[in-house]
Structure formats: C-alpha cells, structure tokens
Structure 1
Amino acid sequence: MITEVVEIPLKAGMVEQFVAGVERSRSLFEESPGFIAFEVHRVIEHPSTVMLLIQWESVAHHMDMFRNSPQYTAWRANVGEYFAEAPRLLHTQTLVSY
C-alpha cells in the first residue's frame, strides 16, 4: 500500500466548495481499481491549503490506472476550479505506524 500525499493551495474562501466537490467525487474513487481510502485535511497554519491523503494498492494504480481514466477527468472537473495553483504531489510508503 502507498499513500498519495497532495498539497493543494485553494483560492480564498473556496474550502467549502472544494470539500463539496470531493464529496461529489466519492464514487469516482471507490470504483477505481486499487483505491483504499481518502482523507482531506485543512492546514492549520494556511487555512486555504488542504492536504489529501489517498491510499492506493500501488503507485501504478494511481498513476497509470486512475490518472488515465475518465474518473480522473471527472474528479478534476469537480474540484480543479478551486485550485489557486498546481497541486504538489508525492507518494509515500509507511515504514512505521502506531
């Protein structure tokens, strides 16, 4: 399992609209091969910035399958207009968990 970590600076005042777009997108992720879980976190020090933590079975499930699917296109249509700038993305592998 890997975690996709995405930092997204949002346009001022758009957090609620972004979250509504995330909710509209739930089935897009749940129907995607390799999808495990999805969380949205607001950055306390930067309230217009959100962090997405999305768990996938592998990087390939995210980058090759989801990113090249109609679900990804629909996801970006649901939330992309709220981005203040391009998201910053990385993948992590858990080494220790309590």
Structure 2
Amino acid sequence: MILEVATLQIKPGLINDFESNFRQASKLLIKMKGYISHELKKCVEEENKYLLLVKWQSITDHLVGFRNAPEYQEWKALLHHFYDPFPVVEHYIDINLSQI
C-alpha cells in the first residue's frame, strides 16, 4: 500500500469553492484502479491549508494509472486553479514497527 500525501495551499477567499469542487473531484478518484481510500484534512492553524491523503494499492496506480487517465484531466480542471503554490506530492510506505 502507498500513501500519497499532498499539502494544499488554497488561494484566499476560495475555500468554499475548493471544498465544493473537491467533493465533485472525489467521485472521479474513487473509480480509479488501485484506489483504496482518501481523506481531506483542514488545518486548524492555517485557514487556507489542507492535507490530502490518498491510499493506493501501488505507486504505479497513482503515477501512471490515475495521472494518465481521462479522469485526471477532469480532476485538474476542477482543482488545480485553487492552489498557490502548486502542491508537492510525496508517497509513503508503512514501516513494520515490530521489527524495530
């Protein structure tokens, strides 16, 4: 399992529009091959900051499958104009703590 993590800075005054569009975009995401789940978290300290967490079966499902799918173009059209700056996306794996 891969955890995609993106910190999203939303342009001032656009929070409500972003959240509404994100609800629409979520419907695209959940149809994708390899998708497991996702969460959007709103920062308490910074009003325009969100954390997007998406679980994928593999990194390829995200970077190749989703990003090359027609749904990604819809995702971009719904969301990318809200970001400033554009988010850095990183991928994480679980660490087996029982072996530490």
Normalised to the residue count of structure 2, the TM-score between the two structures is 0.89
Secondary structure of the 2:85 match is: coil
Seq. identity, %? 27
Equivalent-residue separation in structure 2 for 1:95 and 1:19 (angstroms)? 32
Deviations 1:45-88 (A, max 9, x none): 22211110001001000001101111111001111121121111
Equivalent-residue separation in structure 2 for 1:23 and 1:30 (angstroms)? 11
Q: Which amino acid aligns with 2:24?
A: R
Q: Partner residue of 2:55? A: 55
Equivalent-residue separation in structure 2 for 1:17 and 1:93 (angstroms)? 32
Q: Which amino acid aligns with 2:69?
A: S
Deviations 1:23-50 (A, max 9, x none): 1112211111000111111122222111
- Report the alpha carbon displacement of residue 96 of structure 1 after superposing the two structures with TM: 5.8
Whether 1:72 aligns to 2:72 is yes
Q: Which one has the largest radius of gyration?
A: 2
Q: Which amino acid aligns with 1:93?
A: I
- Report the alpha carbon displacement of residue 90 of structure 1 after superposing the two structures with TM: 0.3
Q: Partner residue of 2:93? A: 93
Q: Partner residue of 1:25? A: 25
Equivalent-residue separation in structure 1 for 2:36 and 2:15 (angstroms)? 24
Q: Which amino acid aligns with 1:32?
A: M
Structure 1, gaps ≥5 residues long = none
Deviations 1:8-34 (A, max 9, x none): 111012222111111111221111100
- Report the alpha carbon displacement of residue 3 of structure 1 after superposing the two structures with TM: 0.6
